[in-house]
Structure 1
Amino acid sequence: MSSPLLELDGIDVFYGPAQALEAVGLHVGPGEIVSLLGGNASGKSTTMKTILGLVRPRAGSVRLDGADITRTSTPRRIRAGIASVPEARRVFGQMTVTENLLAGAYTRHNRREIAADLDRMYAQFPRLAQRRRQAAGTLSGGEQQMLAFARALMSRPRLICMDEPTMGLSPLLVDQVLDEIVRLNAEFGVAVLMVEQQAQLALSIAHRGYVLATGRIVLSGTAADLLDDPAVQEAYLGRDGRS
């Protein structure tokens, strides 16, 4: 088994006196898709913010390729290979598609490589190429999610953290987005850590998963094992397969 690309070990996070995460440990291997599941206020978003450097843990460590990045700033984490697709996409609505993509490369300086990657994104996402001069805020929800993916890839990441990538999308677009995640993982070799409310859908494309409850990891395993686990089905999937 290869060494983890990302590893969280014994993470404790507090918001004032309230503890949000307790002894959280997880890992993502190179090229893996890993789902992070749990109900509201379970600690999923706090875990993601800790990985991105937006929240500092009181205890524990965050490692990338074995290097401790627990105290490293967010921009330096991006340069080291971590990218984010935030909840609700959060594209820059007044900026064009091209301007949004270039914003994803803000930590890079080689203009020739950036231009080549821009062409690559347009080849990978033909719909974005057709709308390159269009304001991002006028795109459909599915198109904005494609733009968020492409913008993250412009930083040449090794790991993309995705927070609720299917939120607010129609069932048809949800399927398209999940298919796109699988394609990006396969074609770019980028690892994915995905927080997703629709747990059954997330596990359908993941290699492994973790379940958070009240700030602690309570279950972990392969996606297939978690889908078959009666405790997961009852507590997090429900009859319709939604967390």
Structure 2
Amino acid sequence: MTELAKACMCLPIAFIQQKDAFVPHAVQGLEQGRNLFVVNGKWVAPYTPAVYRGYPFAVTEGEDDQLHLCIDMDSGLVGAGEGFDQPFFDDAGEAAQPVKDALNFLQQIHRNRAVTKRVCAALAAEDLFQPWPLKVQTADGERNIEGLFRIDEARLNSLDPDALHRVHAAGGLPVAYCQLLSMSHVQTLGLIQRKLAEVKNRMPEMSDQIDVDGILQRHKSSEPEQTLEPIENDNVVNIAADEGDFDLSAFVNPKQND
């Protein structure tokens, strides 16, 4: 939950229903298998999600309810020989300091997720989640993206004092407003997708060497001054024609991020 305030400034946030719980995720693409914030193997968004910063390490909860440190041995970041000079253990057989630092970082992420789960449960108890069916408009027509949820702003604004107090006491208001604030960034995804398609059509050999950050900066400088007025329809994303089925990738293969 603590990173939502930073993530919502540049990434669209949606909730996904997993079993009986709602979980926030960053929306990072508009088609299957492609993360629009990864270019040439580099993460280009101003904020890097914590789960990526901990890679190639991760923690998982075992049957003993203890956290276990896991390592992706296929990441290319772990190995023996030249270039791999940082040991996992020191001379005393204890975990080396970088490993301890990684574990502490991932344990904090795990604790934050538990807090976020409780906050989302409080939001769900007040029926504050509603479907967010995005529509992707292409030259071939309109395609629907389903399975995402957003905060029901109208219901949030109409909560009675007791319900509003419950949401506030649970820490739900910052989460709700961060998600609502982030929704405009879906249009950024559409912009990147459209610009990538335009460049690919003109220069196919350059499609993997596109400066997304430069595209966004030039677009921003060419646009009239933006206001805080809501966009006309935050459920519609306009992009250029593209092939394949559209999907939303809550995560990408972290191996693409250095």
TM-score category of the 2 structures, normalised to the smaller one: under 0.3
Q: Which has the higher contact order (CA 8 A, sep 6+)?
A: 2
> When the two structures are superposed, what TM-score results if normalisation uses the length of structure 1?
0.26
The structure whose Rg is larger is: 2
> When the two structures are superposed, what TM-score results if normalisation uses the length of structure 2?
0.25
